[in-house]
Every structure is written in C-alpha cells, then in structure tokens.
Structure 1
C-alpha cells in the first residue's frame, strides 16, 4: 500500500506542528512547511526523525505564488500524490490596533497570508487531487482541511484584519466543499478557540482570567494536540458525508449560554 502524503502549512511550531506530529503518528508522511530556511528548520526535523516520524521540510511562503507552486511541484515529483492538505499557515496582526486606526499594511498582510493563500492553496491542491483521482490512483481518498478561528464570528475590533481574514476562510471552505463534492473530495474547517501557542502568549494573562471566569465551558487553554485530534477526525473518513462542516476545537466557546 502506498504511503499517504500530507502537507501542513505553517507547521514549524504551534498548532501546525501539533497537526503534523499527529498525522505522522497515524502513518502519514508529512511535508512540514514554513517560511524558515532549511538550516533554521533542521533542529526540528532532526528531533522529529529521532522520534521515528516520517517527515520532510519544504520552505514555503504561502503568500508567494512561486513558493506555492514550488511546494506542490516538489511534492508531486517525489510522491505523485497529495492525500491531505492542511491550510494552517496564518499570522496575527503586526500590532493590536483599534479598527478606527488600523493600517492598510496590516490589512493586506492578514488577507494575503490568511485568506488569499488559503484560497489558492485549495485551488492548486484540488486540481492535483482531481487529476490523481482521474488517473486511477489506488486507495486514494484526498481531503482538504482549513484551519479557521473563532475570530471568524467573534468581534475583536483591535484585531479586525485577522477576524475578517478568518471569516473569509470559512467561506473558502464552503465554496470548495461545494465545488469538490462531485469528485468526492471533502473539505472541512477546523476552528480553534483559545489555544496556548506563541501567538496567544502575549495575551496569556488576559485569556487565563477569561477562562477562569467561564468564557469556555471547558475551563482550560486548548492545546495544539486538541486541534490536531480534530484534524485527524476529518482525515479519518468517518465524516466525509459531512463535507463543509465546521469542527469546533474551542472548549465549547461556540455554545450560546445564559
């Protein structure tokens, strides 16, 4: 049986790395990708290989078309298949700034990396997946999973560009789930809540207080592993008929409560 191949963008640390590890532990060869060069990524890769995980590193700035094309070309040249694409790469605002003062630079950066890149990564992967399916590739059931955020529907006026970009990711998921249904390629959104990562470390105290006060029914920080398990559920095949579904990895934050 051919080895299954997964690509996880933005996977050098945080949620992305948690997802990459979980996929590798479940038998995938995982292409880890981020903007760091190979030398910077080598300590991580050595550690993963020492743990017996089948991974390789390909540098990719997802906001750059040439980098995206190079990533897919290298993967297809070596493996001739992509079984799972996880669009995880994303950035927080450069500066938390009131929406009345937010800059075009920050807006463009969030949209280009979080939204535009996700759209075109889905497009490129989808076409390669369709082609592979039509070639008669055996045991091939590809899936696309986009990592969204509770910020898609939760107003944070000091992080407006991030919220808008993640709301867009939700629609990207719906659009591709609709379009790819005829090819039996399911597309999902995994929507993390308050996850303990480098991105949230700068406001850890604020979130600790909110969690203690019950902003989430499960009163703890989420961990990258919590998100990774939801990704694995989407990869399992058990949810394929639920294409387009949002899987909330948020400790119950989405529940409306009185």
Structure 2
C-alpha cells in the first residue's frame, strides 16, 4: 500500500448528474477520486469513461462499482481505495433515488417506502460509519481537512405529499448528517449537508416543462434552474476545509427556493 500525497475523495453515484460533476470538480482541484456506480455492464462503461475524463485533469481515478444500498458492498469499495492510495480524506454521499412513483401518500406501499429509506438514508448511515472509522484511524495527513459531505434535497424540509416516502428519506438523511457531525466534531472531521433545489439533470428533464413554467412564475427567486456545477463548487469548498468553524452545516443550493415567499 502506497500513501499518495494527493487527498482522496470517494463520490458515490458519480456516473451522471450531480455526482459526476462533483467528481470532476474535485479532480480539477487536486483530489484523486474514487467513482462509484452500480456493477452492471452499462455502469462499467460509464465509470471507465469518467476515469478517463478525470485523468485529463491530472487526477488518479479509480472505478469502485457497487450498489451502496447493499451494505456488504461497502467494505470492498473502501478496501480498494486504501489499497490504491492508502488514505481517504473525503466521502461525498451522493447516491440516491427518487420515489418509485408519485401519487397519493395514502396509497404508498411499504415496499416503496423502504426502497427510498434503504438508498437515501440507511446506505448513507453505514457507509459514513465505515468511512469515519477509516478517517479516525489514519488521522489528518499533511494538514488535509477530512470531510463527509451528504447530498440530500430541499425535500428534507419542503413537503411534497405526492412523494412522501422520498421526503421522509431525505429528512432522515439530514438527521444522519447532524448526528455524525456532532460525534466527529472534536475529531476534526467536518460533516456537512448540501440541499440541492431544482437542478438540471437527466432525472429532472422529464418534468422540465413543468418546472420551466414554475421557475418563470417565481418559484425560484433567482429565476433559473440550478446547475450541477453549482453543487460541485460547494462540495469542493467544504472538502477543502473552507468552512472550518462549522458543525453539521446545512447549505441550501437552491436559488432561494427554501425561503418562504409569496
């Protein structure tokens, strides 16, 4: 095992959208990056393409396929990172899922409820637990800030009754952030929550006409869609330790969507 001099970040769910842009930004800013996606033929192609892209920014990149909702996948992912680089300085918990289907919350099934909780909260809790123990054991290396960054959603606090199980899972993820932040504060490990608003990704493009109208009508005070780069820049800022005297900070990256207004 060789200890690299560059800081190392793991970004889950990083083959597209917000996760992909976070991986790119961290690579641009001097991190080696472990990327993650499901262990499928399509997933392998996307991961390899991203590894090649990140190398253009001077980063050493590693594909770590696995479904983070399957807890037994966590240890092999982390072991491959330690074998390659000997350290882990930043975990970006980005992998997540939308509700399987929107509809009346009075008809939500236990299966669909559990599906959201398993991916959006349970996976985050236990991967964070493992990563935190690695960070504690290795200590701070050459002054590099250690961080855990949880990408949740504005739906952690803004209610959508037609996707109740999703809102519950994101509120749970927010509580997970606060708990780990408090536990790790005296150890010098920063734990942060980033709450994206309406972000332009392939997942949201299916409802783009609807949100185009609502944004134009003032739903988002800045009157524009969020971009994945808006999230990625904040991720790098906290990973780089630029919010040093904060604990469990919630950062809304939503153009003002969360501010009550009429």
**Distance in structure 2 (CA, Å) of the matches to 1:75 and 1:84:** 12
**Distance in structure 2 (CA, Å) of the matches to 1:2 and 1:98:** 52
Measure how far apart 1:83 and its partner are: 0.6
After superposition, residues 1-258 of structure 1 pair within 5 angstroms as 2-37=5-40, 38-50=44-56, 52-133=58-139, 137-258=141-262
1:139-190 CA-partner distances (Å, limit 9, x unpaired)? 3421110001000011111111111110011111100010001101110001
Measure how far apart 1:47 and its partner are: 3.6
1:36-68 CA-partner distances (Å, limit 9, x unpaired)? 443453233334434554322110200111211
Aligned length, in residue pairs:
256
Mind listing any 5+ residue stretches in structure 2 that lack a counterpart?
A: none
Change beyond 3 A, Cα 1:39–1:256: closer
- Superposed structure 1 runs of 4+ greater than 6 Å apart: none
Mind listing any 5+ residue stretches in structure 1 that lack a counterpart?
A: none
Q: When the two structures are superposed, what TM-score results if normalisation uses the length of structure 2?
A: 0.93
**Distance in structure 1 (CA, Å) of the matches to 2:230 and 2:112:** 29
Q: Is the 8 A contact 1:6 1:83 kept in 2?
A: yes
Q: When the two structures are superposed, what TM-score results if normalisation uses the length of structure 1?
A: 0.94
**Distance in structure 2 (CA, Å) of the matches to 1:51 and 1:182:** 34
Query: Which one is further off, 6-15 or 60-69?
Result: 60-69
Query: Which one is further off, 71-80 or 46-55?
Result: 46-55
**Distance in structure 2 (CA, Å) of the matches to 1:137 and 1:48:** 23
Query: Which one is further off, 235-244 or 207-216?
Result: 235-244
Q: Is the 8 A contact 1:146 1:189 kept in 2?
A: yes
What SS is found at the alignment partner of 1:186?
strand
Query: Which one is further off, 51-60 or 100-109?
Result: 51-60
Change beyond 3 A, Cα 1:141–1:236: closer
**Distance in structure 2 (CA, Å) of the matches to 1:220 and 1:138:** 40
Change beyond 3 A, Cα 1:237–1:46: closer
